[in-house]
Amino acid sequence: MSSNVQLLTVSDASEGQRLDNFLLARLKGVPKSLVYRIIRKGEVRVNKGRAKPERKLEVGDVVRVPPVRVADSKTPPKIGDGLKEHLADAILYDCPSFMVVNKPSGLAVHGGSGVSLGLIESLRQMYPEQAFLELVHRLDRDTSGCILVAKKRSMLRYLQDLFRGVKQIDKRYLALVKGQWSKRAKVVDVPLLKNERQCGERMVRVSPEGKASRTEFDLIEAFESASLVEARPITGRTHQIRVHALYKGHPLAGDEKYGDEAFNSALKALGCRRLFLHAACLAFDLSTGEHIRVEAPLPDELNGVLKQLSTSRGAN
């Protein structure tokens, strides 16, 4: 139980944030229903007046928070020295308002669903002086490469608006797929429907009932049994590249959810022990007109797979 009334002053980092989200971020362990109840009953005050949950806060606003009961919660695990060193080396671009990180495969972007420590929790531990650090978008746990992290709420809103726009952020992925990708197969434009199983696993399939989804593809290199392609997702649906490639008959290498078991086994023998999907490039314009382009080199283990494929092709 927090026994004292708190008076919280809104800083630049929280400018424009809704009152309910402001409180939820600061009252860790407090049930969401309780947060809304104390707002509704007028126990939360903004500048000494009642306020609704959707109230947008401004710099200098003073938020009165009444005593609330905080549920017991375990202390989040501390980031290990190995991961800390890896992530420090993985910062591809860093400025006062955002950073771009080369996320390693196997690291979730945030904790939850059995994951206690993700990328964003790790970065917050590494940079405790940063009052605000939030993911702009997401990558699947097994996907590596460029991910944007905002350091200011105003930049978070700006970048998320770019992601919602068509082609305002140029995202380019490298993927290794089964079979010979046709140079004529430039666009996959079919709707995707997301389903969640009882176990919580998310599955996506092509369905006329789904959301409009579009991915542009280019063949980069052809091997005997596989193709390296560049994928540019124009929309941002869950598992979009993986399911669109599967729709064309070319499942991704190392994809345990949508992939081909025999193909995965053959690639594993060549060193492919993960999903071969890498967010290789992000490019966009800032409101100042400055053009930002950040590239993440293909990880060594994926480069090794391509070299093995090239060697086996040359031997035939």
Residue 221 has pLDDT above 70, yes or no: yes
Q: What's at 58, amino acid-wise? A: E
How many CA atoms lie less than 13 Å away from 167 in the CB half-sphere? 3
- pLDDT score recorded for residue 11: 84
Q: Which residue has the higher pLDDT, 139 or 69?
A: 139
Superfamily of domain 81-153: Pseudouridine synthase (3.30.2350.10)
Q: How far apart are CA 109 and CA 121, in angstroms?
A: 9
Transcribe 52-93 into DSSP letters. Answer: -TTPBP-TT-EEEE---PPPP-PPPPPPPHHHHHHHHHTEEE
Can you name the residues that pair with 100 across neighbouring β-strands?
93, 148
Residue for token pair 């290794």: 176
Residue 286 has pLDDT above 50, yes or no: yes
- pLDDT score recorded for residue 29: 73
What are the structure tokens assigned to 82, written together?
């190995």
The catalytically annotated residue of 12, 89, 94, 140 is 140
pLDDT above 90 as % of the chain = 72
CB 43 within 8 A of CB 83: no
Is 140 one of the catalytic residues? yes
Domain boundaries, given as residue ranges, for the chain: 6-65, 81-153, 166-315
> For residue 110, what are the CA distances in angstroms to 31, 113, 116?
20, 10, 8
Q: Which CATH number is associated with domain 166-315? A: 3.30.2350.10
Local confidence band at 76 (pLDDT 50, 70, 90 cut-offs): low
- pLDDT score recorded for residue 115: 66
Residue 157 has pLDDT above 60, yes or no: yes
Fold identical between 81-153 and 166-315?
A: yes
Q: How far apart are CA 219 and CA 176, in angstroms?
A: 10
- pLDDT score recorded for residue 227: 97
Q: What is the mean pLDDT of the chain?
A: 90
3-state class (DSSP) for residue 129:
coil
- pLDDT score recorded for residue 33: 86
pLDDT above 70 as % of the chain = 92
Could you report the per-residue pLDDT of 293-315, keeping only the tens digit for each?
A: 999 999 999 999 999 999 876 55
The CATH label, of 1.20.1250.20, 3.40.640.10, 3.90.1150.10, 3.10.290.10, for the domain at 6-65 is 3.10.290.10
Q: How far apart are CA 136 and CA 154, in angstroms?
A: 11
Q: What's at 270, amino acid-wise? A: L
Residue 55 has pLDDT above 70, yes or no: yes
What are the structure tokens assigned to 207, written together?
């369905």
Could you report the per-residue pLDDT of 10-36, keeping only the tens digit for each?
A: 887 788 889 998 898 888 778 888 899
Kind and range of the H or E element at 292?
A: strand 291-295
3-state class (DSSP) for residue 219:
strand
- pLDDT score recorded for residue 1: 46
Q: How far apart are CA 258 and CA 60, in angstroms?
A: 50
Residue 228 has pLDDT above 70, yes or no: yes
Could you report the per-residue pLDDT of 86-143, keeping only the tens digit for each?
A: 999 999 999 999 999 999 999 999 876 566 789 999 999 999 998 899 999 999 999 9
